[in-house]
Structure 1
Amino acid sequence: MPHAPSAGAPAATTTAEATVASLIAHGIDTLYAVPGVHNDPLFDALWHAQDRIRTVHTRHEQGAAYMALGAALATGRPQTFAVVPGPGMLNTSAALLTAYSMGAPVLGLIGQIPEAEIGRRCGQLHEIGDQAGILARLVDFSAQVSGPEEASRLMAEAFRAMRSGRPGPAALEIPMDVWTRERAFAASPPLPSDQPAIDEDSLRDAAKRLGEAKNPVIFVGGGAHDATDEVAALSAMLQAPVVSGFRRGRGVLSSRDPLSCPMPVGHALWKEADVVLAVGTRLFFQCRDWGVDDDLAIIHVNADPDEAARHGAPAVALVGDAAPILRALIDRVPAHNRARPSRRAEMEERHARFHEAIAKLEPQISFLKAIRDVLPDDGILVDEVTQVGFAARLAFPVYRPRTFLTPGYQDNLGWGFATALGVKDAVGSRPVISINGDGGFMYTANELATAMRHKIPLVAVVFADGAFGNVRRIQERQYGNRLIACDLANPDFVKFAESFGAAGERARTADELRGALERGLARTDGPTIVEVPVGPMPSPWQWIFLPKVRGV
């Protein structure tokens, strides 16, 4: 019989209890999960902690991981999911890969077979060869837990890793027989994140280049979302347009600011620029497609020390969190800054020309206008890999950071609906709209059951053309109309929604969509699905794959 702990000594704690306590200590109030026999003790520990941490159970593991991803993207804070090993873990791999590519702090708690059986290939339930090796290729930090003290320590290390440098996902494996191991130990407290010191020589060089530049331009990506005030101040100081990337930088500078530019406007500015300040972006399209030459100096601000040189050495590389680096530049640029007249009239003219050209994207533009009309400034639009989504990345006005969410460079079809459920679950009363094609929506449409069970009032629009529209158009135009594997058999999406007890509406015009969205956003007790039947839509790609303009 174990001895009772002496006064002041820590009580014996199981690995499951230590895991839940550590989640709570690190600010986690919700766990997205699918239960299973490998993790039963974890869920019993969660039952005992229901007053401090919610468990949102989904109908598929990919739904749990995507919900955690959506919550992380919307809040900028770490979020967590739990699943069984083998097929359960593999079902979350697309979400983990997307979290890695987008720098999203998502922690996966992954079950394992009994500790002594790992690697023996004995045929244990859900056994998979080298699960740890698979996870290590999807996340920034991974480890296997061997007991309660390890759970506490490794959890602290995982959260520090997710917050240090470029944010990203982490995973902890816990064998099924380890959950119930019990020991007395002192819990590991949360650890401070690691941030590199800012290089003063590089700061001075960057400030001088920016201040002396004739045509400076700022390009922003997902790494700039927590530096919005600094980007706005530097943009005003330099009268430098701020160009958002194709996917991630929308809302860093409000679309109401004339200096805020979508990517196609930035294409012309790239040709004219002598100095580019790249903040939290890879500059993938710009360096790969638009071209560089000796007359363009690029200053990279990125949390990843390896990112700046991927497309050639920059003029200056500043490594670290964007906000303090930009604040340091704001302090130093005035000593070098030339007199700069307002560019408002010029930029308004550039915007007008762009909007006149892109107005040809109908009905996409009208549908997006209807969405923007009903979505408040702090409302969130979750994009999908769909024709209306592509147009949104070019032309949807965005006024605040983290209010326009796309799947990053993975651009994985089917991420949107389940991710948007996580977004809505995390942000509470703030309105959230998910836009989907009929192809992508059906990837996680089963999570309507989750939305109903947990009363998540997401509004999801399904633009239904009966096809993988992008695939079909490519086959029509590039392959002699030899159509294969592109047409879809769909349910009646209104009846589909109603069969779950959700609200279902059908809208055929932009005005009808506006009304359906208003009614859906007014609901508080469950989701709304709005089906929008559409035909083939005009291609947006001429505004996305833009030609080379430098180094020709």
Structure 2
Amino acid sequence: MTTLTTAQAVVSMLEVNGIDTIFCLPGVQNDPFFDALYDRTNAIKPIHARHEQACAYMALGYAMATGSPSAYVVVPGPGFLNTTAALSTAYAANAPVLALTGQIQQAMIGRNLGLLHELPDQLAIMRGLTKWADRITSPAAAPGLVNEAFRRLLSGRRRPVALECAMDTWARKAPVELISTPANADPCPVDEDAVERAAKLLGSAQNPMIVVGGGALDAGEHIARIAEMLDAPVMTGRMGQGVIDGRHRLSVTMPAGYLFWGEADVVLAVGTRLQPQQQNWGLDDKLKIIRVDIDGEELDRQRRPEIGIIGDAAATMKALADRLGEHASKPNGRAEHVAEIKGRANKAVRDKLAPQVAYLEAIRKALPEDGILVDELTQMGYVARLAWPTYKPRTFLSTGYQGTLGWGYATSLGVKVARPDTPVVSINGDGGFMFTAMEMATAAQHGIGVVAVVFSDGAYGNVKRIQQQSFNNRTIASDLRNPDFVKLGESFGLHAERVKSPEELSTAISRGIARGGPVLIDCPVGELPDPWSIVQVPRNRPAKS
């Protein structure tokens, strides 16, 4: 045992569990924590931001880019509350983020005395936004609680966790027994019987289809094997882009997936909520669904599947691919049909959304195969879900169902910190970019070389279009007055420039990547075609009787 402060014990356990960067904004309730961190900055680098939301967004980006746990630390009360949009996005995107916050004095918690940064029940808010949260109440309790936090981050469905610690508890000293080994994930054995039943059902299918989500990001090799054995199209939802290479002949995005859903007899759904398909596209008795998910509660949330398998996607898909050879000895001859449907759907997207596709193709041309695109709630981001060619896992990052406007730029900074040798491009609208534009100061201070593109149209474009189309052009609160983005970027010390075409954009991104430092590119655009007619489609199967 060693006599340590609670803060020293926590910092030691963060290091044991592989945290090499912590995103932070200091404050009085966490002063002892940062004093303890000062002695360990050779192992854990602090990246401080200009707003607490950016600390959490950067931790989110780090976790999404690596698939490994990340951490941020902020003061309690308004500091913590400023991070909750990012925390809820981490929950939606299944990202393993540790939220570490201070608290008021331990004896004062819950007494409603009106102390600085006091909330009625901060821990209850944490528990509502994470899979697990707790309070550190003593130095001796710290090692076990930190390891428990990481065990939960690594086990089952990846979602954020949180720990809080009172300001006087941080500095309290006591004998502490540190844990020398990092936390491990709980075992998740393969359900061999269910895998065998799934192999038989898939082997007998006439029109099989595979749908993958973010839970399948590490299973791509085995999913590609299964798809090739069956000639089955693989629909990659926005969180599953890159599970298999977007150039693969069987890889399709949502528009083609919608067409295949209407004719499928067996669907293999891996690591996906399958929400739009089941709720919007429709179900019937002719469709049999096999669901693979590490979260058992997810399997029958909307409809009980024909076969439900609780398990790790990579291990389960490897077992399924190995078994499938006994039941599907040769492809079913659908390769030409799949190619025809895929080509027809891709053409419809290109014809309908040509301006956005042209810009996305320009960005793709400038990014290497492993380059990372961080999307936004913007016209380019919406179309990227349908038309961006993603080649590798964790290279197209999106908010999932949370749809968090303004997340993109700050999140991309965390992505770049995690992957410093990989080009990272953040695409933004002028509305969303201004949510975290002050973090250009963070990029400049820490040398975070993200290339940020702002597609500026002087409006919350999606809101304005809906008002024009659905409310007789009664536009309200949707026009924006923007700064000169080039001058704004330069004032923060970024290289900034303005482009006027897809070709100029591609060249500017290539220059920005070559420069290595933070870059801002302003790309003014006019009114863009509406993508929602492709996304909001009618049911193509009757409701289940």
How far apart, CA to CA, are the structure 1 residues paired with 2:289 and 2:187?
A: 23
Is residue 2:468 matched to residue 1:448? no
Is residue 2:328 matched to residue 1:337? yes
Partner of 1:373: 365
Q: Contact 2:9 / 2:176 at 8 angstroms: preserved in 1?
A: no
Partner of 2:155: 164
TM-fit CA distance, 1:148: 1.9
Given candidates 448, 460, 468, the residue that maps to 1:476 is 468
How does 1:167-316 map onto structure 2 within 5 Å? 167-188=158-179, 189-245=181-237, 247-316=238-307
TM-fit CA distance, 1:343: 4.0
Using the TM superposition, name which of 436-445 and 355-364 deviates more.
355-364
Partner of 2:65: 74
Q: Secondary structure at the residue paired with 1:81?
A: strand
Matched AA of 1:29: D
Q: Secondary structure at the residue paired with 1:363?
A: helix
Q: Contact 1:265 / 1:354 at 8 angstroms: preserved in 2?
A: yes
TM-fit CA distance, 1:239: 1.6
TM-fit CA distance, 1:338: 5.0
How far apart, CA to CA, are the structure 2 residues paired with 1:316 and 1:347?
A: 25
How far apart, CA to CA, are the structure 1 residues paired with 2:521 and 2:266?
A: 45
TM-fit CA distance, 1:46: 1.0
How far apart, CA to CA, are the structure 2 residues paired with 1:342 and 1:469?
A: 44
Q: Secondary structure at the residue paired with 1:207?
A: helix
1:129-157: CA deviation from partner (whole Å, max 9, x where unpaired): 10000000000110000122211111100
Partner of 2:378: 386
TM-fit CA distance, 1:342: 5.0
State the superposition RMSD in angstroms.
Answer: 1.1
Matched AA of 1:476: Q
Q: Contact 2:110 / 2:120 at 8 angstroms: preserved in 1?
A: yes
Partner of 1:18: 9
Is residue 2:133 matched to residue 1:146? no
Q: Secondary structure at the residue paired with 1:179?
A: helix
How far apart, CA to CA, are the structure 2 residues paired with 1:388 and 1:104?
A: 24
Matched AA of 1:130: D
Q: Identity rate of aligned residues, in percent?
A: 52
Is residue 2:95 matched to residue 1:104? yes
How far apart, CA to CA, are the structure 1 residues paired with 2:49 and 2:334?
A: 50
TM-fit CA distance, 1:347: 2.9
| Count of residues paired in the alignment | 541
TM-fit CA distance, 1:467: 0.4
Q: Contact 1:216 / 1:276 at 8 angstroms: preserved in 2?
A: yes
Q: Secondary structure at the residue paired with 1:323?
A: helix
TM-fit CA distance, 1:69: 0.1
Using the TM superposition, name which of 216-225 and 343-352 deviates more.
343-352
Relative to the length of structure 1, the TM-score reads: 0.97
Relative to the length of structure 2, the TM-score reads: 0.98
How far apart, CA to CA, are the structure 2 residues paired with 1:149 and 1:249?
A: 41
Given candidates 478, 492, 516, the residue that maps to 1:486 is 478
Partner of 2:524: 533
Partner of 1:498: 490
Matched AA of 1:244: T
Given candidates 487, 499, 509, the residue that maps to 1:517 is 509
Q: Which runs of 5+ in 1 are unaligned?
A: 1-9
How far apart, CA to CA, are the structure 2 residues paired with 1:98 and 1:451?
A: 22
Matched AA of 1:548: R
1:17-51: CA deviation from partner (whole Å, max 9, x where unpaired): 11111010000000000000000011111111111
Using the TM superposition, name which of 116-125 and 231-240 deviates more.
231-240
How far apart, CA to CA, are the structure 2 residues paired with 1:16 and 1:167?
A: 26
How far apart, CA to CA, are the structure 2 residues paired with 1:311 and 1:195?
A: 27
Using the TM superposition, name which of 501-510 and 184-193 deviates more.
184-193
How far apart, CA to CA, are the structure 2 residues paired with 1:339 and 1:506?
A: 53
Q: Secondary structure at the residue paired with 2:26?
A: coil
Partner of 1:424: 416
Consecutive aligned runs of 4 or more in structure 1 exceeding 6 Å deviation: none
Q: Contact 1:195 / 1:320 at 8 angstroms: preserved in 2?
A: no
How far apart, CA to CA, are the structure 2 residues paired with 1:460 and 1:265?
A: 30
Partner of 1:89: 80
Matched AA of 1:326: M
TM-fit CA distance, 1:361: 0.9
Q: Contact 1:74 / 1:423 at 8 angstroms: preserved in 2?
A: yes
Q: Contact 1:29 / 1:54 at 8 angstroms: preserved in 2?
A: yes
Partner of 2:115: 124
TM-fit CA distance, 1:341: 4.5
How far apart, CA to CA, are the structure 2 residues paired with 1:261 and 1:372?
A: 17
